[in-house]
Amino acid sequence: MKLGVFAVLFGELSLEGALDKVKEAGLEAVEIGAGGYPGNAHCNPRQLLSDEASISRLKSAVEERGLEISALSCHGNPLHPDEEIATLHHRQFEETVKLASALGVDTVVTFSGCPGESEHSKYPAWVTCPWPPDFLKVLEWQWSEKVIPYWQKQSEFLREHGVRVAIEAHPGFVVYNTETALRLRREAGDNIGVNFDPSHLFWQNMDPEECIKALGDSIYHVHAKDTSIDKRNTALNGVLDVKPYAQELERSWIFRTIGYGHGVEVWKNIVSALKKVGYDGVISIEHEDSLMSVNEGFTKAVELLKDALIYEKAGEMWWA
């Protein structure tokens, strides 16, 4: 496995400046944001696709520093009931796939999306429980009328360009856990896999090791981000928390730099589980810790993951 970073955390720097930071940290790969919610500070697919020389310059900037691109990321909601938003995010996804193909990058990371509750909706509707029975009707409509048809079509589009998609399971979208990720892959195409991000699983009381074993070779890419659970707030209010992320004292959970939600042993076990299922790709550091600066969070994550990867390599059988 290789260690990389999701470069949107260096969005205030130029592409070259961000790549220099990655190289200086001793990492081997970079995940580049190309649209959707994180934006495209380092990579505008529409502009690049109209200029082959720009594509060559991007590739050279990465390769000259001894790095590789692990994925292009375009985290959006192409199933949004607002047609303007859906159209924008779908266009950005298609352009990102085309750019990945032109760059020789085989993976695009995104979300599954989430429709509304009907054709008349203005906003997405995420179903979290089976009762009252209206909720199950909404859920079945979303999957059968919106989610599966859309991703079946995208599966064909991806094959045409020699690219696969890694869906990041995220609460708020229809794919948010193991079974929904596997359902989408089963019903829409085996080039639809998973961007495995433990931070979205921890607060749902999911076990990343067991999820990795169940997902197996559907894991195409991995994010390294942690979640800290506040025991008192969770005991009082549970984990379904809609308070703003900035209200750290009041929330049941917050995103943290890895090691500040779960210790190094947990992350070593995650790395080992990935090894067991044959994952040999990139672990991409993502920073969304409101209690740490970007540099502090990034540095601490690099240190912990280097330790975890050294542990994983040292644990290989001597006859391997």
Instruction: Flag whether pLDDT at 182 surpasses 60.
Output: yes
Q: Say if residue 132 is preceded by a cis peptide, omega within 30 of 0.
A: yes
The pLDDT score that the predictor gives to residue 317 is 38
Non-local (6+) Cβ contacts of 183 within 8 A are 143
Phi, psi of 164 (to 5 degrees): -115, 160
pLDDT at 319: 37
User: Residue type at 215?
Assistant: L
- pLDDT of amino acid 26: 97
Q: How many residues does the chain have?
A: 320
123 has a pLDDT exceeding 80? yes
Residue 106 has pLDDT above 80, yes or no: yes
- The answer to whether the beta carbons of residues 35 and 74 sit under 8 Å apart is yes
Q: Which of 14, 41, 109, 24 is nearest to 69 (CA)?
A: 109
Q: What percentage of residues in the chain have a pLDDT greater than 90?
A: 95
pLDDT above 70 covers what percent of the chain?
97
**Cα(first)–Cα(last) distance of the chain, in Å?**
16
What pLDDT sits at residue 315?
54
d(CA 201, CA 146): 25
Task: Give the model's pLDDT for residue 318.
Answer: 36
Inform me whether the pLDDT recorded for 192 exceeds 50: yes
CA distance linking residue 13 with residue 26, whole number of Å: 18
**Domain coordinates in residue numbering, the chain:** 2-314
Q: What is the mean pLDDT of residues 249-263?
A: 97
**SS3 at position 174:** coil
For residue range 272-302, list pLDDT tens digits in order. 999 999 999 999 999 999 999 999 999 999 9
Compute, in degrees rounded to 10, the torsion defined by CA atoms 199, 200, 203, 206: -100
Q: What's the burial of 52, exposed, middle or buried (CB within 10 Å: 0-12/13-18/19+)?
A: exposed
Q: What is the mean pLDDT of the chain?
A: 95
- Give the predicted TM-score (pTM) of the model: 0.95
Residue 246: phi and psi, rounded to 5, are -70, -15
The pair phi, psi for residue 311, each rounded to 5°, is -60, -45
Is the model's pLDDT at 16 over the cut of 80? Answer: yes
Rounded (5°) CA angle 229-198-157: 140
As given in the structure block, the two tokens for residue 30 are 């970079």
Q: How far apart are CA 137 and CA 98, in angstroms?
A: 36
Q: Does residue 156 carry a pLDDT above 70?
A: yes
| Cα–Cα distance, 311 to 272 (Å, whole number) | 9
CA–CA separation, 152 and 162 (whole Å): 15
Q: What is the pLDDT of residue 320?
A: 35
Q: Is the pLDDT of residue 314 over 80?
A: no
Integer Cα distance of 139 and 117 in angstroms: 8
CATH number assigned to the domain covering 2-314: 3.20.20.150
Give the pLDDT confidence score for residue 310 in this predicted structure: 76
